[in-house]
Amino acid sequence: MIHLCADTDIEDNSARGLQGEGYNLIAVRKKGQLYLYNNRCPHRGIPLEWMPDQFLDHGKHYLQCATHGALFKIDDGHCIAGPCANDKLTAVDFEHRDGQIYLVG
């Protein structure tokens, strides 16, 4: 398993990028629940952000792709608007252990 970060590194209603050898992920927390997705927009197969850790829309309700504005639900990665509507971000399995987050697989 790969260590990603401390659980406390991802504050509620925030998102950040986690990059390392072989992975580029979005970690996002909403209502205390943590979600992890591959940082790859299904429209063009590129990362969502232009600025580091800028993944959320203005209202912090959705993940937003900076290139063409696609909006993704935080809790399941489903695209609700934009050029890849009805596609989705790929969820990534992770594990909590002793206050740390690990990538599974």
Which positions lie near ligand FES, rule CB under 6 A? 41, 43-44, 46, 65, 67-68, 70, 82-84
For ligand FES, which is the closer residue by CB, 4 or 25?
25
Largest CA distance in the chain: 40
Least Cβ distance, residue 5 to ligand FES (angstroms): 25
Least Cβ distance, residue 31 to ligand FES (angstroms): 25
User: Running DSSP on this structure, what letter comes out for residue 74?
Assistant: T
Least Cβ distance, residue 17 to ligand FES (angstroms): 15
Q: Which residues contact 21 (CB under 8 A, 6 or more apart)?
A: none
For ligand FES, which is the closer residue by CB, 61 or 97?
61
Least Cβ distance, residue 79 to ligand FES (angstroms): 8
Instruction: Kindly give the pairing relationship between strand 2-6 and strand 14-20.
Output: unpaired
For ligand FES, which is the closer residue by CB, 27 or 47?
47
Q: Are 64 and 54 in contact (CB under 8 A)?
A: no
For ligand FES, which is the closer residue by CB, 32 or 50?
50
Tell me how far apart the terminal alpha carbons of the chain are, to the nearest angstrom: 6
User: Running DSSP on this structure, what letter comes out for residue 25?
Assistant: E
